[in-house]
Structure 1
Amino acid sequence: MYRRTVRRLAIVAVTAMALSAAPCAWAATTSSSTTGDAFYTYGGSAPLSSFAPGTVLNSRTLQYHIEGIATPVTAIQLLYRTTDAQGRPAANVTSVVRSITGNTTKAVSYQSFYDSLNPQDGPSRAIAGKVTLGGTIANFESAALSALVLQGDNLVIPDTEGQSADFAAGPEYAFNTLDSIRAAINSPLTGLNGGTRFGLMGYSGGSIATDWAAALAPSYAPDVNRKLVGFAEGGVLVDPAHNLKYVNGSLVWSGVIPMSLIGVSRSFGIDLTPYLNSYGLQVYSRLQNGSLLDALGHYPGLTWQQIAKPQYANPDSVAAFVEAVNRVDLGSAPTPTVPGYIAQGDGGVLEGTFANPPGVGTGDGVMVAGDVRALANQYCATGDSSISYDQYNLLSHVGAAPAWALKAGSWLNDRFAGKPAPSDCGHIPAGNSLAPERTVPSL
């Protein structure tokens, strides 16, 4: 019965994929089922700071929705206490789907690549039935998630960006992810417990949360780190300053430049507006609540120089920018203590990114292949964990995702089974320097 139920979920997910190919047919339809949803707001009398991170503040059980359509699958949603990028207590939401086999020994923490500056686009809201254009990605991912459920995994799906949707702010992604796992264990509704082992999994925006969570777990959540079997990620954002140089002028991906600036500055309370020209301020304002689908292809050829005042044509002349990118540079973050599988495409010309900047090189259209190789080698040199690495030279960011997902699932299954983690250390080609950016004088 349960297997038939999840097969129906997979069928609906495939339908959602077909719908996503024709957004004009449904983009204007928005469910009001979670608009102004009180569940997302902590209303207790005790201050959030009085609760330990991972404490469950509220919970509810509902049907798992795809594009607003209720499926037979049940999801448990938890409002839990976590921490924002500035160290302040915050509340966030995660969704848990229990294993169809009743197994409680393993769970996959899946970090979505919903990539949006609008809190309404988070995976928990899509699961609860809200339909938005920016939430298309979270609905699309249900196809991949159904495969994990079919093989008997429990799923934990956090809203990694938090309730202010701080896109690309890696440390905050990590706190939300790690405390989501704590909440899933703490809730009596999920069936997960202290003996449950977890694997971290995420692609693209999901890789931001996955890698930062693996990196910060030993210090922020050692209790969670002890339960991790490994992390599997692909299409990885490592050094955002390099990414800006790489996508500068891209036909498709250049719209992520203002998105990233908004998300990271919002997370850390950094004001970048004094350095933007009138056009830059216009774009900055337009994308305040934008999603990836509002950015991709909407600003073909956009460059930093087009949105910055002339005297700040070099982004490294802006001290606030340098501060922001250095705070979210994985090259400066701790090394994970668990095994990892990392994959990266290097066929960016297929997605309209033709740049090959000195010291940066090429990538998959948005992520820099040399940075990812450098990070993998850094982990090999500084950690005790085994790192597996794949580079798909002829695949773009979107094209590499299916290849990564297939191997990532298999790799995690082997870690849950207790098999020794393979290692490509010593065989990964050299990458870029991941040294922090330094401020230079303005013009």
Structure 2
Amino acid sequence: MIGCAAIVGYGATPAFAQPADPGVSIPPGPPGISLPDIQRWIDQVIPAPALTPAQADSPLVDTAELPPDLAALRAAAMPAAIGDSFVDDWPDGLDGYDPGAIVSVRDVTATAAPTLIVPVRQVLQVKYRTNDSHDEASYGIASLVLPVGDWPGPGQRPVVVNNLPIDALGRDCNPSYTMAHGFSRASNFTGYILPTTQLALLRGYAVLITDHEGPRMAYAEPIVAGHAILDAIRAVRNQLPDELGDSKFGMIGYSGGAIATNGAVKLMSEYAPELSDVVVGAALGGVPADFSLLAKSMNANLASGVFLGAVFGIGRERPEILAHMNHLADWAAVSVLNSQCSEVFSVPGLLQLPIDLAANIPDPLNSDLAHEIYAITRMDGKKSPVPLFIFNGEQEFWVPAAGAKNLYAEQCSLGVKAVYRSVFGEHFVGAVTGYPESLDWLDQRLRGVPAPNEC
């Protein structure tokens, strides 16, 4: 289950969001049922968190153009370090690297092999230059899994780019952490529920798994994810040119992994055009392609906690979102929740409260900024240069099928070879019912079979 929407608006701060006058008594309870009244009452009852000023030279926060209070909030909302310098440390001189250039490499075969279940020859983790959502220098971490034995087919060994649903705010929830450190409370088990990695390895493919949320753990942000995936492909081709330099790559992702896959294919032509002849296709399922739909389907219900977590994730890249959260949301953003996996930060969804309560403006999901974020993350009109297989559960209520169908129609209108499958089930059942055909479709692309076009 994955989805997000902007909960805030941007512009002049409305009168009711101003800090409470110390001389005015705090009301004993919500003064009315209107959203502005409740929001004002929250900010009167709950003080803003006291925050340490942001470090001016922190590349993780980029405080140059932010007011001091917002810079401090953004810094405090970032994911906590996990004690792994390979993941935590921002590389020196990153601006001097080209996107996809490798910063460092480590071999994690000893710890990764037991977590992958099937036999493997080697597991390498690469740290490389990529770009954030504003095209500023950032870094990515990706894990390359190589199977045992020689590739029996023609050409170099193909690579499956398995974009897992990371759906997390903490760095130790990434698949690379599980492979480098073994199983823990934060282990990412989405690599087993749909066993793409294991099946691909058994077929002789290499598998590339990217921590596509980036160092800020920008949960549900498709531009960060798209850049991270494309630069990971560049990185492994650079790292193993003799084995993978001329390989074909195929992408697959479900739910949060579909957000990342959609970002990669839509950004490929402008960001990494040389990969258009390298990537043979992408399969996407349970696709949260339009966050404006999720603003209705994942609000004021059991999905609200996941919804709010995704808003925080996007806000790490787009601090204008953080600028208009109220004090209650500020406390949540800087609490231990900001470095947790989804099974923790989704728990507040049990209260089924509307996410509007976290903003300080009326009608936040219909605000100007919300619509701006919807458009940015939808990436309207950007054409995939590679064939697509798209599927969605017809009984979906968290991630409505309308978003996937609209994506299919858009890409067909742009001339993309595409297939759409409406499968039985809601989000979790649909993941299973649509999976076999999507995997078979990808397997055929990697084996050189021309892609069908059902547009």
The answer to whether the Cα contact below 8 Å between 2:88 and 2:215 also exists between their aligned partners in 1 is no
2:199 matched to which residue of 1?
147
Residues 129 and 70 of structure 1: CA distance in aligned 2, closer, same or farther (over 3 Å): farther
1:267 aligned to 317, 321, 344, which one? Answer: 317
Matched residues in 1 for 2:429 and 2:110: separation?
28
2:358 matched to which residue of 1?
307
1:386 matched to which residue of 2?
417
Describe the SS at the equivalent of 1:237.
coil
1:220 matched to which residue of 2?
271
Matched residues in 1 for 2:430 and 2:110: separation?
28
Residues 83 and 137 of structure 1: CA distance in aligned 2, closer, same or farther (over 3 Å): same
Matched residues in 1 for 2:97 and 2:89: separation?
12
Q: Kindly provide the amino acid, as one letter, of the partner of residue 403 in structure 1.
A: T
1:137 matched to which residue of 2?
189
2:123 matched to which residue of 1?
75
Describe the SS at the equivalent of 2:324.
helix
Structure 1 residues 7-35: Cα deviation after superposition (integer angstroms, max 9, x where no partner): xxxxxxxxxxxxxxxxxxxxxxxxxxx94
Describe the SS at the equivalent of 1:199.
strand
2:66 matched to which residue of 1?
none
2:147 aligned to 64, 87, 99, which one? Answer: 99
User: Which 4+ runs in 1 deviate beyond 6 A?
Assistant: none
Report the TM-score, using the length of structure 1 for normalisation.
Answer: 0.77
Matched residues in 1 for 2:401 and 2:244: separation?
37
2:438 aligned to 401, 408, 415, which one? Answer: 408
1:229 deviates by: 0.6
Unpaired runs of at least 5, structure 2: 1-80
The 5 Å alignment of 1:174-253 reads 174-188=226-240, 191-193=243-245, 195-251=246-302, 253=303
Matched residues in 2 for 1:279 and 1:44: separation?
34
Alignment length (residue pairs): 367
1:137 deviates by: 3.0
Residues 232 and 190 of structure 1: CA distance in aligned 2, closer, same or farther (over 3 Å): farther
Q: Kindly provide the amino acid, as one letter, of the partner of residue 365 in structure 1.
A: F
Matched residues in 1 for 2:183 and 2:113: separation?
6
Q: Does 2:110 match 1:60?
A: no
Residues 366 and 333 of structure 1: CA distance in aligned 2, closer, same or farther (over 3 Å): farther
Unpaired runs of at least 5, structure 1: 1-33, 348-363, 426-443
2:386 aligned to 334, 338, 343, which one? Answer: 338
1:316 deviates by: 1.7
Matched residues in 2 for 1:99 and 1:70: separation?
11
Greater Rg, structure 1 or structure 2?
Answer: 2
The answer to whether the Cα contact below 8 Å between 2:164 and 2:191 also exists between their aligned partners in 1 is no
The answer to whether the Cα contact below 8 Å between 1:94 and 1:157 also exists between their aligned partners in 2 is yes
1:142 deviates by: 7.8
1:105 deviates by: 3.3
The answer to whether the Cα contact below 8 Å between 1:96 and 1:190 also exists between their aligned partners in 2 is no
1:329 aligned to 378, 393, 396, which one? Answer: 378
Matched residues in 2 for 1:345 and 1:417: separation?
27
The answer to whether the Cα contact below 8 Å between 1:64 and 1:70 also exists between their aligned partners in 2 is no
The answer to whether the Cα contact below 8 Å between 1:114 and 1:135 also exists between their aligned partners in 2 is no
The answer to whether the Cα contact below 8 Å between 1:116 and 1:134 also exists between their aligned partners in 2 is no
Report the TM-score, using the length of structure 2 for normalisation.
Answer: 0.75
Residues 85 and 314 of structure 1: CA distance in aligned 2, closer, same or farther (over 3 Å): closer
1:296 deviates by: 3.5
1:323 deviates by: 2.9
Q: Does 2:215 match 1:163?
A: yes
1:322 deviates by: 3.1
1:247 deviates by: 1.3
1:285 deviates by: 4.1
Describe the SS at the equivalent of 2:150.
coil
Q: Kindly provide the amino acid, as one letter, of the partner of residue 235 in structure 1.
A: G
2:404 aligned to 372, 396, 400, which one? Answer: 372
1:7 matched to which residue of 2?
none
1:114 deviates by: 1.4
Matched residues in 2 for 1:334 and 1:141: separation?
31
1:48 matched to which residue of 2?
94
Larger RCO, structure (CA 8 Å, separation 6 or more): 2
1:173 aligned to 200, 225, 231, which one? Answer: 225
The answer to whether the Cα contact below 8 Å between 2:412 and 2:418 also exists between their aligned partners in 1 is yes
The answer to whether the Cα contact below 8 Å between 1:170 and 1:208 also exists between their aligned partners in 2 is yes
The answer to whether the Cα contact below 8 Å between 1:84 and 1:90 also exists between their aligned partners in 2 is yes
Q: Kindly provide the amino acid, as one letter, of the partner of residue 388 in structure 1.
A: V
Matched residues in 1 for 2:91 and 2:399: separation?
42
